[in-house]
Amino acid sequence: MLCNGSLDCTTQVLCENWQHFDLRLPEHTKKKNMLLVAHNGLRNRLASKLNMGDMLMMEWDDPLTELANRYHVHCLIHRVDDCGNETVIDEGTIYKMQHERVYGGRRKDIARNTFFLPINQIHSNFIELALVNWYFDHQKLPRPKLTNYETFKYYELIGDNNFTHMMCPQTYRIGCSYAKPRRRMQRE
């Protein structure tokens, strides 16, 4: 089992049903850049609409990409990653897991968004579909809180779901992975 390129977690098996795409590789630069542009574009749009002046520009992060890769390479779609020597995970809903890990010498909160497209729907624009799906999660949240600060007014996001993970102003790193099933998978 590979954890950051080393065989130090032995309780996981490789997932042979998935064709995995590691976005750190040069042949996937276009998809990686598309993800960054799309995330930053949506974040800029929201910052303008809600008068948010502290929205950070997202940058690609290879260690986060490695974490995302593990979920596909080792069939961890709805299970906990046991490469616990560097990641402590508390299970959340089936679509979200909160992670806390040491990153750059400081502890950081990490959230995971997932998107599943039915196998009978083949789309070349699955990245756009995922982002739109996550964006429309704002409909499940309470209305943003209007805050007055001196002579300024701005809105604060409230809640915890795919939308807030993607739009949190302090989020500045992104790492993604994607996979396609090689064949129709059987339900257990």
- Report if residue 11 sits inside a domain: no
Q: Match 């490469």 to its residue by tokens.
A: 83
In one-letter notation, the amino acid at residue 145 is K
- What integer pLDDT is reported at residue 122 of this predicted model? 62
Q: What is the CATH number of the domain that holds 41?
A: 3.40.33
Q: Which among 167, 159, 156, 154 is positioned nearest to 141, based on CA atoms?
A: 159
Structural domain contains residue 13: no
How many distinct structural domains can be found in the chain?
Answer: 1
Question: The domain containing residue 117 runs over which residues?
Answer: 18-181
CA quadruple 25, 22, 131, 59: dihedral, nearest 10: -50
Position 102 scores a pLDDT of 38
Residue 70 counted as domain residue: yes
| 9 within a domain of the structure (yes/no) | no
Per-residue pLDDT of the chain (188 residues; tens, 9 = 90+): 344 444 334 445 556 667 778 899 999 999 999 999 999 999 999 888 888 778 899 999 988 888 888 777 766 655 444 443 333 333 333 223 333 443 444 445 677 888 877 666 666 778 888 888 889 988 888 888 888 888 888 788 888 888 888 888 888 899 998 887 766 544 44
Q: Is 43 a member of any domain?
A: yes
Q: Is residue 187 part of a domain?
A: no
Position 57 scores a pLDDT of 93
Predicted pLDDT of residue 121: 64
- Antiparallel, parallel or unpaired: β 173-174 and 59-60: parallel
The pLDDT of residue 6 = 43
With CA atoms as reference, report the closest residue to 70 among 87, 95, 93, 90.
Answer: 87
Q: Is 6 among the domain residues?
A: no
Is-contact 15 73, C-beta < 8 A? yes
pTM, entire model: 0.69
Query: What pLDDT is attached to residue 70?
Result: 78
Q: Does the residue 188 lie in any domain?
A: no
